[in-house]
Structures are given as C-alpha cells and as structure tokens.
Structure 1
Amino acid sequence: MLSQPIHHDSPFPFFYDNSAFSREQCAALERLFLLDAEWQHRDGAFYRCSLRDVTEHIPAAFQSEVLARMREITGLPLTNRLLVTAQRMLPGQVIGRHSDRPLVGYEIARLVVQLNKQWQPEHGGVLELFASPESDAVFRVNPEYNKAFGFLLHADSYHGVTEAIQPRQSLVFNFWHAANTPELAAHVQTLFADMHFSELPATLNAVASAAESHLPEETTFHAGLAALALHRWGYDAASIITGYHHSAGLTACDSNNGETYAAVRLADWVACLYRDSFDLARWQILQHELKGMEMFTRLKPTWQLCLPA
C-alpha cells in the first residue's frame, strides 16, 4: 500500500504513487460507487461534481492501514479521525483553480485515489497544480487507475481539475492534524464568543490607539484578539499589554516570566487560528518555543488542544 511515493516540493509539497493499492483493494474501493445512497450534487461557478461520504463502508483495518502509511509518508501526527468521500465527475463538469487552506478544525492532508480504467488523455479530468492564482499549470497528474495523489493543505496549495470528457471517479481520504481538531475549533469559538474589545482593560487603550495609527488593521485586530484571549484567561493588564505588543510585532515577549511567555505565545496562536488558518510551520515554531515548559493551570485546556502530548 502506497509503497512507492514519489515526492515533490514544487509548487507545494505533494507526492503521487502510480500503483497505490492492491488489485483486491481497488476492486473493493470501486464497489463504493455502486452503493445505493444519495449523492450530493455541487454545481457552483467553479466546483462541479457529485460527492458522497463512504467512510462507514470502508473496513476499520483498511482505514488504520491507510492512516499509518500516511503518518509515515507525511511525518505528521495525524489523528485517528478519517473521512472518505467518493467523488464523481460527469462529462462537462470541471473543478476550477482553488486553494484548500486548513481553517481551525479542518483537515491537514488529503489522499486522492483515481479509479478510472482505460483512461486516455482525450478523457480529460486531469488534476493540475499551480504556483499562484494567476500562473499556468506547473504539474499535471493524470487520473489513471490506481494512481494516488497526496498533499498538505495550506494557503498556497492551488489546484484544479480540467473538464471531464468521460465520467471520472475518485476517492478522497481526509486526515486531521492532532493539533487542529474539531474539538480545538469549538474551544477557540467559545473563547472568542460574544467578543467585545471594550472588555479589555482601559490601560490598553492608549497602546492600541497608537498602534492603530500606523499599523495595518489586520495586524491590530490580530493583536486585539491575542489581548482578549489573555484577558479571558484571567491575566492582568500588564500581561495583556505585553501580549498586544508581541502580536502586533512591536516588542517581543522575553522568557523571564515563564507563565507570561507561554500565555503570550498561546494567545498569539489562538488569534491566528481564529482569524486565519492552521499554519503548520507556525505551529512547529510554537511547539519548539514551549517544549519542556510547565503546563500552567489556567492555560491547560487550551495548551492540551494546541500542543497535544
């Protein structure tokens, strides 16, 4: 299974395997398209296909084997959560260029397995990879039978599928990072629920006003979110101001006070999750910064979700 992945770093990290599964496994996957169940039809401006969740129809042992192999290939701490979607494209359907950035609680990686026997170039349905929203395709993956394509989701993972001339069917396996679970998403939403910056200490007002006079709005909004997280965790005004300075890029928080240092970095991270997406490289920096530190009591619920053991 996925025994010969060929890796590429451009235009974004991905791999493909020309012979992903055994003949018996492929036959079992093909049968998923014959199930008597309703399809969800997508007919948007750029995303036209039919989808169906088939996770429960895939044996647990097979799911575990795919998960284990993807952990080896990606080197990521993937959870046991797995969602498998059957995707069908009919003649004339197309999937336009898009990027699947992982918002908080979203999947971090995908594995797309093609199940198109006797595919020929004139059949279309080719997966194209792009370096930017405007560039020409820099890599193409033909939807040949038993070919698998895996990639990490991030803001620049631009891809699309050319018009299908013949019916095209594939399975999409979705994987979650241990530090970006649906449970974390619920936690972050609760942390910032009913948000009012007026609840922040008055001593922050002058600092925020000065920052807003010369920094981009997105920067000061991010800093305000970090300050709000610190406030809701019960930190004092001095720590909140330190966190605002750090997240606005005005001054870095030093490590003299271990709890303040950890709280400021966690606050900055949850602000990123709330307003943007799960950035793997940025998470790895956070992991390095807090490695070996004491898990302070009031930070524990957030810490355990953001940096699981």
Structure 2
Amino acid sequence: MREITELPLVDRVVVTAQRMLPGQVIGIHSDRPLLGYEIARLVVQLNQQWQAEHGGVLELFSSPQSEVVFRVNPEYNKAFGFRLHVDSYHGVTEVTQPRQTVVFNFWHAANTPELAAHIQALFTKVRFSDLPAALDSVALAAELTLPEETTFHAGTAAIALQRWGYDDATIISGYQHSAGLVICDSNDAETYAAVRLADWVAYLYRDSFDLARWQILQRELDGIARFARLMPTWQLCLPE
C-alpha cells in the first residue's frame, strides 16, 4: 500500500471483516480522514460464484451528484485499494446475496491516533478570553469583516501559540497569519515555524487532515531546526 499510494504509512494496520445482507445498501458518502482517521483502505472481496444480479458493486463518484466514474465488482479474491480524502465519494449497490469483504485500514504517519490525542489535549478548555489583551483590537477588527469560521481558526492558532509559551507579539502574528491578514515572513526561524505549526494544528482541530496542505507545511518547515517547546507537536505533525 505504501507503493500504491506513495504515502508515508505507519506500520499500524486495522483489519475488519464486513458482511452485507440481502436488501442492504451503502449510500454515497466520503470517509475523509478526520483528525486521527485512516487515510487509505484495501478492500478484499470474498464472494465465491458472484453473479451480476447479486449486486454489491462498489461505485466511485466525483461528487454526491455525479454519475458513477468507476465500478468494482465484488468478485472472489479481487482487491481494490484507494485513498480517502474530502472528495472520495463511494457507495455499494443493494445486495441480493450476502456480500463478504475484509478491509485493511492504513494511517498516514502525520495523522495518527496519537496526534489526535495530542491535539485534543492542546485545545482542552479553549477560552478565547484567555488570550492577551494586546490581541483584542486586532481580533475585533477581524471579526467585523471576516467570516466567523476564519476568525475561529485564527483564534485557535493564537491559543496554540499561547499554550506553547510565546509572547504577545508572536501570538498576534499567528492570529493575523491564520486569518489571512498578514503573512508571517519573520526572519526569526522559531517565530516562522511556530506560526505555521499553530496554523496547521488549528486546521486539524477544526476540520480534517488535508494531504495537500500538509505537504505545503512540510516544504515550509523543511530544513528548519526543531525548537524545544514545539518538539512534541512537531514530531507528531512532521515525523522524521
């Protein structure tokens, strides 16, 4: 699966046996990888003497409203692997005979259950009122013009910086960067790294694991020394 997906998968593999009974169907859905969720699956079919009228076809879609773009018949000993992302829509047609599969689940090295526990602990009892008063005017001006989702994200990034022990100036810089007000291009390597890591963990906490955004973070922090107060989070988000 590492070769197929070209992803840095951890050694953890969770295997589940699944059985659909006659009349059952799986509607169109996307199992995008939320924080700590698997990023890839391998589905192995165990249906001997399968016939077209038995149904149980795995169908892939480009969107919930699109036509089917790919079908996988549940033929015996056939396997199909795919990566999960926000647009990985799929479903299974109704079965008239029991449909049996074994599913292997794989995790990205930078979106493990351990990271999920770390992020949840980092943002335990979030209170934006705890942020420094120096941020108040910046946050108020942002809230008057930006969507609530954007300011929430920026505030969460500021919380991360505060809990890592950074000063008011760095917290404000992180808020502005995550709100899209000012791009942090500080010459101070630690400030640069802290702001970008805070932006990433705030995104994870609010949304889900996005491979493209993670690859950008990877490029941005490539070659930068890992600073002590950031080390626990850095190691989980960008494992060596």
TM-score bracket relative to the smaller structure: over 0.9
- Bigger relative contact order, structure 1 or 2, given CA contacts below 8 A and separation 6+? 2
Partner of 1:179: 110
1:178 deviates by 0.8
Deviations along 1:71-128, whole A, 9 cap, x unmatched? 1111111111110000101100111111001111111110111111111111100111
CA distance in 2, matches of 1:94, 1:228: 44
Partner of 1:38: none
> Which residue identity is paired with 1:163?
E
Deviations along 1:126-165, whole A, 9 cap, x unmatched? 1111111222222111111111111111111110001011
**SS of residue paired to 2:193:** helix
Give 1:135's match in structure 2, choosing from 47, 66, 76. 66
* 2:93 counterpart of 1:162: yes
Deviations along 1:215-261, whole A, 9 cap, x unmatched? 11111100010000000001111101110111111111104110000
Partner of 2:54: 123
**SS of residue paired to 1:135:** coil
Give 2:205's match in structure 1, choosing from 241, 264, 274. 274
Q: After the TM superposition, which residues 2-81 of structure 1 pair with which residues of structure 2 at under 5 Å, given as runs?
A: 70-81=1-12
**SS of residue paired to 1:298:** helix
* 2:169 counterpart of 1:238: yes
Q: After the TM superposition, which residues 105-124 of structure 1 pair with which residues of structure 2 at under 5 Å, given as runs?
A: 105-124=36-55
**SS of residue paired to 1:169:** strand
Please give the root-mean-square deviation of Cα atoms over the aligned residues, in Å.
0.8
Partner of 2:227: 296
CA distance in 1, matches of 2:186, 2:143: 27
CA distance in 2, matches of 1:152, 1:216: 31
Q: After the TM superposition, which residues 242-253 of structure 1 pair with which residues of structure 2 at under 5 Å, given as runs?
A: 242-253=173-184
Equivalenced residues, count:
240
- TM-score between the two structures when normalised by the length of structure 2: 0.98
> Which residue identity is paired with 1:181?
T
Give 1:212's match in structure 2, choosing from 137, 143, 157. 143
Partner of 1:201: 132
Structure 1, gaps ≥5 residues long: 1-69
Give 2:32's match in structure 1, choosing from 80, 86, 101. 101
Partner of 2:22: 91
CA distance in 1, matches of 2:68, 2:146: 36
